[in-house]
Amino acid sequence: MDGLTVAALRDHIIRVRESCMSLSDFVEKFVQASGLNANDVINLPLLFGNHDKTSVEIDGLTLNTEQLKVFNKVMNHLRKDQDPIYMFVSGPSGAGKTLLLKALRDATRSHFHSEEESCIVTAFTFTGARSIDGATINCTFRIPVNAKNDNWIGSPQKNSSFENKLKKAKIVLVDGINFINASLIHSMDQKLRSALNGQKPFGGASVIMFGDLYQMTPINGSPIWKGSTANSLWRLMKLEELTKNEKVADQDDLDMLDVLRVGAPYLIQAVSEKLKSMCEMKGETMEDVIQEVTTLKLNNSDKSFAVLTNKNNDVDKINDKILNQLGNRRMFKAQDCVSNLRGSTSTYNLTGKYDKKDLEVAIGCQVMLTANYKTLSYGTVGKVTSFTDDTITVKFPTGHVPLTRCGWLHLQHGWKQFPLALAEAFTFHNCQEITVDGVVIFGELEERNAYTALSRARSLKLCHKLNVIILRIVLS
């Protein structure tokens, strides 16, 4: 049976059955034609219709039992049912929601024999979209970023490339649904209806949403379940919950994170006292934070740390200040710059920010990947160990990797640059795709951000907070 596929077995069955006069004749000829031996075991459920995968790998990781169950449920529905599937995949940080999305992205595109068009992947934030090789929901569905209401919504221009792309959509995978307000979901629904079928929700396309409603909510607008129109779409979603946090190993940390996530009142006091003993630090200034994270790195040389804060301006300042403390710095200017591109090319195929095209690093500085690179995923954090004119070598959790320049595109501008960015600090909104060993929190921390911020770390024991503002806010 070596090398014999299910498809080949089915072909054997059809050919042999057509030439047989009786069941026994069929069995005998089938065994001969398929090359089976008398004692070979055939996986009959797989052969005759059960397509459940027993193992799925993505980004070098294998889906766990919970993730695999949801994966098989979705794929079996798409194979057998003509009706769309509507699903909301929830779970805590570290449960592998985005990993599952990527696995479904690849599997559905293969199922529909399409590279991209059949399966649209999207997210609210630029970083979230980049991590799944997609675009933001505003970009994907051409929704103005500052739209205040739905009055602007119109049908895609007939026979436009945008409409033709939407017409091919079979399924939409949406990551970070907790960030997306009701108006955006309504707009997405209207765009798909205009292109596909005006009588059906989302135009008849399947929609699977991923996110954690206990984490950060939309900055502007109402959550999806509060919008009068979007609420009817939200009620279509069937809940599938992932419960296993694959990122945090310590059971005490898992218990405390769970309390912070769901806000169990009778446990908050005990958790607050525990966090205070572990996380409180002295000081009030940015310099105090930088000193704290520097000390943490010195005392834990094999660990990674990041500062989390509210403001982009503070992120830039912290990144610059820490970089200035390091020696052996180097500025890498963008190369092979062009300014007349009409779209993505084989050379310039990654979406970037033109004002960030130059990159300065130093030996020992912390960086993150700004694109998927070989077997490494967007957002992976590492430390620069060396560089030459053409390579920057970074020590990632999986080992040392020499990186070369990639081609980037913004509007009509193209350039080549290393897929790296400084990663000493992040805003609460842009830290969703990163994982570090510990975090230091700077500035005011709202209740809705408390779990999000601390859940970026593998260990709460390596998290520090100025004046432990988090405790007062969570308890309020």
- pLDDT tens-digit map of 381-413: 999 999 999 999 999 998 999 999 999 998 889
Pick the residue with more confidence: 266 or 307?
307
Pick the residue with more confidence: 447 or 425?
425
Which of the four pLDDT bands, split at 50, 70 and 90, describes residue 113?
confident
Which of the four pLDDT bands, split at 50, 70 and 90, describes residue 31?
low
DSSP H helical ranges for 35-175: 44-47, 65-80, 97-111, 126-131, 137-140, 161-167
* 69 located within any domain: yes
Verify that 204 and 75 share a domain, yes or no.
yes
Per cent of the chain over pLDDT 90 is 48
Per cent of the chain over pLDDT 70 is 83
The rounded distance, in Å, linking the Cα atoms of 345 and 82 is 36
Residue 9 contacts residue 47 (beta carbons within 8 Å):
yes
Burial (CB count <10 Å: 0-12, 13-18, 19+), residue 22? exposed
pLDDT of residue 148: 56
* 316 located within any domain: no
- Stretch among 24-28, 180-184, 411-415, 468-472 having the lowest mean pLDDT: 468-472
Q: Could you tell me which residues come within 8 angstroms of residue 203 by beta carbon, excluding any fewer than 6 positions away?
A: 166, 169, 189, 192, 193, 194, 195, 196, 197
- Stretch among 189-203, 252-266, 334-348 having the lowest mean pLDDT: 252-266
pLDDT above 50 (res 374): yes
Verify that 267 and 220 share a domain, yes or no.
no
- DSSP H or E segment with residue 239: strand 238-241
The rounded distance, in Å, linking the Cα atoms of 191 and 304 is 42
- DSSP H or E segment with residue 174: strand 171-175
Residue 237 contacts residue 190 (beta carbons within 8 Å):
no
- DSSP H or E segment with residue 307: strand 305-309
Give the pair of three-digit tokens for residue 46.
């797989």
* 328 located within any domain: no
**What are the angstrom distances between the C-alpha of 236 and each of 78, 87, 223, 230, 445?**
17, 8, 15, 10, 34
CA dihedral 243→249→253→255, nearest 10 degrees, is 30
The rounded distance, in Å, linking the Cα atoms of 387 and 331 is 11
pLDDT above 50 (res 470): no
Average of per-residue pLDDT across 313-329: 93
Q: What is the DSSP letter of 66?
A: H
Query: Residue 132 is part of which domain span?
Result: 57-241
Verify that 17 and 145 share a domain, yes or no.
no
The rounded distance, in Å, linking the Cα atoms of 369 and 131 is 10
Verify that 280 and 219 share a domain, yes or no.
no
Which of 222, 241, 260 lies at the terminal end of a domain, its last residue?
Answer: 241
* 52 located within any domain: no
Verify that 169 and 216 share a domain, yes or no.
yes
Q: Could you tell me which residues come within 8 angstroms of residue 340 by beta carbon, excluding any fewer than 6 positions away?
A: 412
Residue 440 contacts residue 296 (beta carbons within 8 Å):
yes
Residue 174 contacts residue 207 (beta carbons within 8 Å):
yes
3-state secondary structure of 446: coil
pLDDT above 50 (res 73): yes
Verify that 407 and 459 share a domain, yes or no.
no
- For the chain, what is the domain count? 4
What CATH number does the domain containing 76 carry?
Answer: 3.40.50.300
Verify that 155 and 26 share a domain, yes or no.
no
**pLDDT tens digits along 42-66:** 554 545 456 788 999 998 899 999 9
Distance of CA 187 to the CA centre of its chain: 22
* 321 located within any domain: no
Verify that 236 and 360 share a domain, yes or no.
no
The rounded distance, in Å, linking the Cα atoms of 201 and 196 is 10
Verify that 417 and 434 share a domain, yes or no.
no
3-state secondary structure of 253: helix
**pLDDT tens digits along 211-263:** 999 888 887 778 888 767 778 899 999 999 999 999 999 998 998 888 888 87
